[in-house]
């Protein structure tokens, strides 16, 4: 079931503002741990940096010698293109997540999600059937779950299939608009 790619990188994506609560440093520690077992991981992060976090995060990446594996980028309008070119979407938020729209967007294009079990994220994924939820304090569990998701094609395909079905039943615009209309007319 597990097969490590040769001469190809596993592409991980994080779409998020650069804020402490979003878990960038937690994710860097996860990637550092994962690279000890699977050295062909590339992580790209895209987001707004209104709080000027990128310089501090870059220093951390360089100090851990992960600058070839982790790239920090400014916000991009092309999120669906970024998602489609990724093997997994990572949501390492540590607190204050109200919903997790980016998770829904990943589900809509068939990209599996691994996320910390905080706030509204658990409402979107709701079980490890539609993505992988991990305890926000466990770098090791998150890293091991990420490696398993990247290398186990059967598990990835099952999550993708379940997530697409979950999206179509619960989150398509036509479904949400009907539910919203029904609520406001009560």
Q: What does the alpha-carbon distance between residue 165 and residue 126 come to, in Å, rounded to a whole number?
A: 14
Do 91 and 24 form a contact (C-beta atoms < 8 A)? no
How many helices (H) and strands (E) in the chain? 8, 6
Among 3-7, 84-88, 137-141, 145-149, which is the least confidently predicted range?
3-7
Q: Which of 162, 135, 134 is nearest to 148 (CA)?
A: 134
How many Cβ atoms are within 10 Å of 35's Cβ, its own excluded? 19
**3-state SS string for 33-98:** HHHCCCCCEEEEEEECCCCCCHHHHHHHHHHCCCCCCEEEEECCCCHHHHHHCCCEEEECCCCCCC
Residue 11 is classified by DSSP as E
When pLDDT is cut at 50, 70 and 90, the band that residue 122 belongs to is confident
- Tokens 């990572």 belong to 90
Q: What does the alpha-carbon distance between residue 9 and residue 74 come to, in Å, rounded to a whole number?
A: 22
pLDDT at site 7? 52
Do 97 and 20 form a contact (C-beta atoms < 8 A)? no
Q: What does the alpha-carbon distance between residue 143 and residue 161 come to, in Å, rounded to a whole number?
A: 23
What's the pLDDT tens digit per position in 64-89?
999 999 999 999 999 999 999 999 99
pLDDT at site 19? 95
pTM: 0.90
With 50 as the cut, is the pLDDT of residue 3 above it?
no
Average pLDDT over residues 106-124: 93
With 90 as the cut, is the pLDDT of residue 98 above it?
no
């Amino acid at each position: 079931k597990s097969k490590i790619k040769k001469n190809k990188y596993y592409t991980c994506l994080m779409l998020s503002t650069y804020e402490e609560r979003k878990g960038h440093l937690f994710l860097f520690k996860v990637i550092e741990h994962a690279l000890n077992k699977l050295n062909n991981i590339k992580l790209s992060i895209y987001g707004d940096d209104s709080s000027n976090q990128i310089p501090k995060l870059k220093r951390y990446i360089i100090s851990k010698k992960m600058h070839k594996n982790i790239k920090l980028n400014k916000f991009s309008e092309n999120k669906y293109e970024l998602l489609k070119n990724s093997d997994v979407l990572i949501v390492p938020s540590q607190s204050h997540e109200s919903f997790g729209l980016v998770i829904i967007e990943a589900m809509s294009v068939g990209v599996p999600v691994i996320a910390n079990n905080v706030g509204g994220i658990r409402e979107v994924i709701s079980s490890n059937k539609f993505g992988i939820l991990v305890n926000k304090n466990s770098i090791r569990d998150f890293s091991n779950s990420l490696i398993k998701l990247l290398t186990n094609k059967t598990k990835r395909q099952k999550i993708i299939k379940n997530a697409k079905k979950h999206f179509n039943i619960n989150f398509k615009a036509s479904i949400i608009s009907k539910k919203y209309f029904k609520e406001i007319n009560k």
